[in-house]
Structure 1
Amino acid sequence: MSDSINSLHLTENKRLAFLKKFIGQHLNQSPSAVGRWLNGKLIDVKEGSMEIEFTVREDMTNSMGVLHGGIASTILDDVVGTMVYALGRDFAFTSVNLNCDFLHAARVGEILLTKGKVIRAGKNIVHVEGEITNAEGKIVAKCTSNLIQTSLKLTF
């Protein structure tokens, strides 16, 4: 995996270095508005992987009082998207698909760990996986996604 990631750019990865400064902090300064609303706490970020903790808030729940599937999907999409952004590619990537499985309920106040990892980083398509687990290690939700390179040139 790391060979395919590293072979596509040989310059210093400024985005990854920037994100590493926020390890241990809440992401209320995220460039993503939804990322600021989710307000996760960055646990770790490396080239091709990322871990963020989220606390389930009442405004993230459905009528049954558990984490809404759409919010779980949003968490997964935001984490894997930020992880791909942190690869330092010249152009932006966007999700082509996001396939989520919802496997366990999460209630208000629970702290969830979301992990993302790059499975394959091609020139135009990056295939990723994400997983949300609770404190007991139960999988709350998991996803696979493909992100495609856009024509939007990134300046940072």
Structure 2
Amino acid sequence: MMAGDAASRMLGIELVDHGEGWARTQMTVRDDMVNGHGICHGGMIFSVADTAFACACNSWGPVTVAAECDIVFAAPARAGDVLTAEARLRSRFGRTGLYDIAVESDGRLIAEFRGRSSELKMPV
């Protein structure tokens, strides 16, 4: 899945490690990822978390997509910060999964993301 993910590649998001029901991604905040306040744009933080979520929920095999997600920003990130997002399965029921993703930089919590996934009935 990551080999065909042009958006994550463009943002410099890498899959660092993964297993069944979990994944860890990483991205370095570039100068072109900061907003007018000089802090990392929230969409960039969402993206690194969303990629970890996608890798974790697709680790079971069936094609799985996001059905719902939300994010809480806890602290700002700045250019040069390395963001690490770790996604963990909380629960699977039917074709639905619930995942929590923490985004950190140097041990500091940047954001908490929660995603609900849905397995597709047939491949895309």
Partner Cα separation in structure 2 for residue 144 and residue 120 of structure 1: 12
Provide structure 1 residue ranges, at least 5 long, that are not aligned to the other structure.
Answer: 1-14, 16-28
Partner Cα separation in structure 2 for residue 111 and residue 36 of structure 1: 16
Equivalent residue, structure 1, for 2:114: 144
User: Can you list the C-alpha shifts for 1:49-72, whole angstroms capped at 9, x where unaligned?
Assistant: 111221001222111121111111
Amino acid at match of 1:116: A
- 1:105 is the counterpart of 2:80: no
Task: Please state whether the residue corresponding to 1:51 is helix, strand or coil.
Answer: strand
Equivalent residue, structure 1, for 2:32: 59
Say which structure is richer in strand. 2
Partner Cα separation in structure 1 for residue 54 and residue 122 of structure 2: 15
| Within-5 A mapping of 1:5-154 | 30-89=3-62, 92-135=63-106, 137-153=107-123
TM-score where L is the length of structure 2: 0.89
> 1:152, CA displacement in angstroms?
3.5
> 1:88, CA displacement in angstroms?
1.3
Partner Cα separation in structure 2 for residue 59 and residue 87 of structure 1: 35
Q: Is the 8 A contact 2:18 2:55 kept in 1?
A: no
Amino acid at match of 1:138: R
Partner Cα separation in structure 2 for residue 67 and residue 47 of structure 1: 30
Partner Cα separation in structure 2 for residue 96 and residue 33 of structure 1: 21
TM-score where L is the length of structure 1: 0.72
Greater CA radius of gyration, 1 or 2?
1
Partner Cα separation in structure 2 for residue 85 and residue 147 of structure 1: 9
Amino acid at match of 1:111: V
Partner Cα separation in structure 2 for residue 65 and residue 56 of structure 1: 11
Aligned residues: 124
Partner Cα separation in structure 2 for residue 62 and residue 72 of structure 1: 12
Measured on the aligned residues, the alpha-carbon RMSD in Å equals: 1.7
User: Can you list the C-alpha shifts for 1:9-48, whole angstroms capped at 9, x where unaligned?
Assistant: xxxxxx8xxxxxxxxxxxxx63112111122233211111
